[in-house]
Structure 1
């Protein structure tokens, strides 16, 4: 048997992971028909069927899953070996396109980009703020940043930053006028600043205490789609805001806001940088990920 080429094996891993000739072809920069022909040729060369094909989807056979599971660590080790050689070529260069929500982007600018600028001055970080959870591969991004629980399962996640809590905050003046809420149910008599999420829906406030979970629709005269604006509205006494803790950190520290319902705060959620696991990691992205990992150590 003639050994398959590395190109064909990498193409198989991409198709088997993406479960689509079209999406895999987009990743590899080729035509779906060309990729389909290459996979049939690979199956003929190996003498075994690797992929089940329908008009709408592609999935690995039992033999395909076996080959996929064995190839992934081999290709990952090969990528690492090639990245190691890049160090002998001189400075790492390239562009890393990252998709992140506004607060996550602010953390990257504060904690990661200064280190990248110092260590890898020839790497360009193209940071795009996006509230929606998008398909970063289809949109042409190298990596994304989201709450770990919302990261797609076919991506590789790298922990980043401290876990984020969601907190209820209000200005001292508002609390003097309307009093504090002792329980989430008491929010019904308060002015609450609504949060419209990227899909157009209003965010339902979540609370937890001693294993008891509550999810509430709140009322108020202001609805915003940006957490920084929500914090500013709360500072101005327009009502109670429910935001990620980093958004309110400065205002809580200097006393412009006070936290309420602290005993009902849900468990913190972890943030992660994620990237596709089925393609080679370019040196510039590898450098960025190394800085992120070092920042966590």
Structure 2
């Protein structure tokens, strides 16, 4: 007996989710039912598709090959069914976005609540990820990133402020003890709070004034992973541990309260705002198309 569509869909769900429990959560079914469907599929095909242990579920080589062949077909089928969405009075469905923490904190709060209020039948899932990823491989509809090189078939749409600034800051206590830097190179003699990406790369500190541009890699007592560790670095700066370099919009509330003092403000560099990117090689799902149309109608918020 040939595998039916439900069984094939169960296989893809578990493979993409990386396990039966997560697959059940995403599909709204049960882990035991998914497990039964996978065992039935393996029996019908006569090959093991997953290596299972008490702690993990991983695709075998045969499973990898099957997933690679099935995924494009199922994606196209979902998109074909989504065409029906355009005949509804109100768009519906799931929109899954992959974004950096900075965008989730500084850009989406001005957009997502209003979007959900305007389209109550659309649900949004936001995944924070600092690395540039293949949004399709991650099961997302679109991503938001800053100034990365996109693949040739990607489409990019501006979202949020069109320009932003990086800012350097320190507490009153730190500056009282160590003095105010007068030039970016003075930072090489200061305690600087840095961020290291998962790749191991350190984000350089860039400064500009007029035609002069300076890029530095200062050192300091604290190194964090951008995203989850950024708030720790900010709190450490407020406590007098060192100088922080971050989005001006992120630091704005701390400036307003007096917890942090601007450092080298006339050297802060401007950079292009974020972009929403998505694959241009396939039909755009209705929730994503609705979101794109929505952000195009929103007033552009100026950075601080």
User: Is the 8 Å Cα contact of residues 227 and 247 (structure 1) preserved in structure 2?
Assistant: no
Pairing 1:29-48 to 2, within 5 Å after superposition: 29=73
Q: Which moved more, 1:275-284 or 1:227-236?
A: 227-236
Q: Which residue of 1 aligns with 2:188?
A: 188
Return the alpha-carbon distance in structure 2 between the equivalents of residues 184 and 250 of structure 1.
24
Pairing 1:9-88 to 2, within 5 Å after superposition: 28-29=72-73, 86-88=85-87
Q: Which residue of 1 aligns with 2:27?
A: none
Deviation track 1:166-209 (CA, whole Å, cap 9, x = no partner) reads 11111111111111111111112211111112312222211122
TM-score (norm 2): 0.68
Specify the SS of the correspondent of 2:273. Answer: strand
Return the alpha-carbon distance in structure 2 between the equivalents of residues 117 and 277 of structure 1.
25
Return the alpha-carbon distance in structure 1 between the equivalents of residues 267 and 107 of structure 2.
29
In structure 2, relative to structure 1, the CA distance for the partners of 1:140 and 1:195 (3 Å cut) is same
Return the alpha-carbon distance in structure 1 between the equivalents of residues 139 and 73 of structure 2.
12
Return the alpha-carbon distance in structure 1 between the equivalents of residues 165 and 67 of structure 2.
36
User: Is the 8 Å Cα contact of residues 103 and 246 (structure 1) preserved in structure 2?
Assistant: no
Q: Which residue of 2 aligns with 1:227?
A: 230
Q: Which residue of 2 aligns with 1:121?
A: 120
Q: Which residue of 2 aligns with 1:254?
A: 257
In structure 2, relative to structure 1, the CA distance for the partners of 1:234 and 1:272 (3 Å cut) is same
In structure 2, relative to structure 1, the CA distance for the partners of 1:23 and 1:242 (3 Å cut) is farther
User: Is the 8 Å Cα contact of residues 166 and 243 (structure 1) preserved in structure 2?
Assistant: yes
Displacement of 1:86 in angstroms is 4.5
Q: Which residue of 2 aligns with 1:210?
A: 210
Matched, 1:244 2:247: yes
How many pairs are equivalent?
226
Return the alpha-carbon distance in structure 2 between the equivalents of residues 148 and 207 of structure 1.
17
Displacement of 1:282 in angstroms is 1.0
Displacement of 1:247 in angstroms is 1.6
Specify the SS of the correspondent of 1:136. Answer: coil
Matched, 1:172 2:216: no
Query: Unaligned 5+ residue runs, structure 1?
Result: 1-21, 31-78
In structure 2, relative to structure 1, the CA distance for the partners of 1:27 and 1:292 (3 Å cut) is farther
In structure 2, relative to structure 1, the CA distance for the partners of 1:214 and 1:188 (3 Å cut) is same
Specify the SS of the correspondent of 1:268. Answer: strand
Displacement of 1:235 in angstroms is 0.7
Displacement of 1:102 in angstroms is 0.8
User: Is the 8 Å Cα contact of residues 27 and 137 (structure 1) preserved in structure 2?
Assistant: no
Deviation track 1:91-130 (CA, whole Å, cap 9, x = no partner) reads 2111111000112012354111111221111111010011
Deviation track 1:145-176 (CA, whole Å, cap 9, x = no partner) reads 01134444431111111122111111111111
Specify the SS of the correspondent of 1:148. Answer: coil
Q: Which moved more, 1:279-288 or 1:99-108?
A: 99-108
Q: Which residue of 1 aligns with 2:282?
A: 279
Specify the SS of the correspondent of 1:124. Answer: strand
In structure 2, relative to structure 1, the CA distance for the partners of 1:26 and 1:274 (3 Å cut) is farther
In structure 2, relative to structure 1, the CA distance for the partners of 1:87 and 1:134 (3 Å cut) is closer
